[in-house]
Structure 1
Amino acid sequence: MKTILCYGDSNTYGYNPDNGYRYPYEKRWTSILEKNMEGRARVIPEGLNGRTTCFEDEIRPGRNGYAYLEPCLHSHGPVDLVVLMLGTNDLKIRFQLTPVDIGKAIERLMKKILEVTPQKREDNRSADILLVSPILVGENIRSVPDGETMGYERACEYSRRLASVYKEWAKLYGVHFLDAAQYAQPSRKDACHLSAEGHQKLGEAISKACENILGAI
């Protein structure tokens, strides 16, 4: 049986924008992925609310995705495929990051995956990577409670540039790429998180991508 590690933020955790809690297990895209694998792979959801790519958040400590990635890979190894979807929290105005900056941070994460995963495998092969650019920030960002935290229209505009940046990094490193915004939209409740319908659609899209990747291993 293959192992798929899904490393991300609140949209991997399954944050529910309607009530501030968590979607039921079966509603999360990671669970939909596991169901669709039909026993061919176990799926490990590693989502955390507020997780960044590699930046320290003094307001919400413990959210640095780079700091936790290496122990996570060792803990769950051996891993066959890492689904990496981060970047939305990096758009927050307090970080003052551009899409290019976020892309460079994504590169750090991919390099760490390629460095660490062979250490846990008998064949010394690195895990495959499916790099997923996150869903867009909704155009109604100014009317939601966290709009100011995200930087209003700035986050909306910058989120639309992430897919092209991520795609270039994926091409450079020879990893797989998927644009989540092609399959799911943010909830109008907060302009940042997936609705239950969005989880279903993204789960189906990632399932197809993972089937193709694992089928070639």
Structure 2
Amino acid sequence: MKGTIICYGDSNTYGYDPQSLTGGRYPENICWTGILQEKSGWLIKNHGVNGRCIPHNSSQIHFFCEQLRDWCKIKGPVRIWIMLGTNDFLTETGFTAEDAGNRMKKFLQVLVQQQEINNREMKVRLIAPPPVKRGAWVDEERICREAEKLDKTYSKVAEELNMDFTGTGDWEITVAYDGVHFSQEGHRKFADRLLEILYNKPE
């Protein structure tokens, strides 16, 4: 085993099945995290939560810091992959890519600070979520336009904080009727692209 990758995200990391009426998830072998587990040689820890926004209030930050302390105790190399921002657009009126970038930067600065406090450095990769599309959950073209800007916005944040970055805006990930959640094909394609990163760029 090469080490541990903690995938910290929302429902598209959790593996939410948009056909489920109870918040269920796809089988592990369908979810991109499960495919990575099977094919990458890394231990993949799925820390996706349905509805999660970029942590920004005191309770969210406190809970994350508690999780981070636990991750710092994991033996061997640990990587943290973060993919968030979609729910911020969906739940906050007028939220922009710039707002997401500012919120993400503050959150990542907390992460860096907590790593220093815990005396444990874990390599971070910021992943921009694939853009949403018009659908049952997305009824504003403005949201689609702002989501498309995340690649550029997050790239700047990652550069400022000296972190790895992955843009997904041109991956053409297929989503379900709601315009948000990956289809089964979308999960497979997303996993394939991330595997390319692992294979082509040593972690």
Q: TM-score, normalized by length of structure 2?
A: 0.86
Q: Which amino acid aligns with 1:14?
A: G
Listed as ranges, the gaps of 5+ residues in structure 1 are 57-61
**Hey, what does 1:166 align to over in structure 2?**
154
Tell me if the contact between 1:88 and 1:134 (Cα under 8 Å) persists in the aligned partners: yes
2:166 aligned with 1:178: yes
Secondary structure of residue in 1 paired with 2:92: helix
Tell me if the contact between 1:184 and 1:199 (Cα under 8 Å) persists in the aligned partners: no
For 1:1-217, list aligned pairs within 5 A.
1-20=2-21, 21-38=24-41, 41-55=42-56, 64=60, 66-77=61-72, 78=74, 80-118=78-116, 120=118, 124-138=119-133, 140-141=134-135, 144=136, 146-148=137-139, 152-212=140-200, 215-216=202-203
Secondary structure of residue in 2 paired with 1:147: coil
Q: Which amino acid aligns with 1:73?
A: L
Once the 2 structures are TM-superposed, how far is the Cα of residue 67 of structure 1 from its aligned partner?
4.1
Give the distance between the partners of 2:116 and 2:193, measured in 1 at CA. 27
CA RMSD, Structure 1 to Structure 2 (Å): 2.2
Question: Number of paired residues?
Answer: 196
Tell me if the contact between 2:132 and 2:144 (Cα under 8 Å) persists in the aligned partners: yes
Are the structure 2 counterparts of residues 163 and 126 from structure 1 closer, same or farther at C-alpha, using a change threshold of 3 Å? same
Listed as ranges, the gaps of 5+ residues in structure 2 are none
Tell me if the contact between 2:132 and 2:138 (Cα under 8 Å) persists in the aligned partners: no
Tell me if the contact between 1:6 and 1:84 (Cα under 8 Å) persists in the aligned partners: yes
Secondary structure of residue in 1 paired with 2:47: strand
Secondary structure of residue in 1 paired with 2:169: helix
Give the distance between the partners of 2:29 and 2:65, measured in 1 at CA. 28
- CA displacement 1:67-119 (0-9 Å, x = unmatched): 43211111222362111000000102534322111101111222222222355
Q: Which amino acid aligns with 1:116?
A: Q
Structure number with higher helix proportion: 1
Tell me if the contact between 2:12 and 2:48 (Cα under 8 Å) persists in the aligned partners: yes
Are the structure 2 counterparts of residues 210 and 70 from structure 1 closer, same or farther at C-alpha, using a change threshold of 3 Å? farther
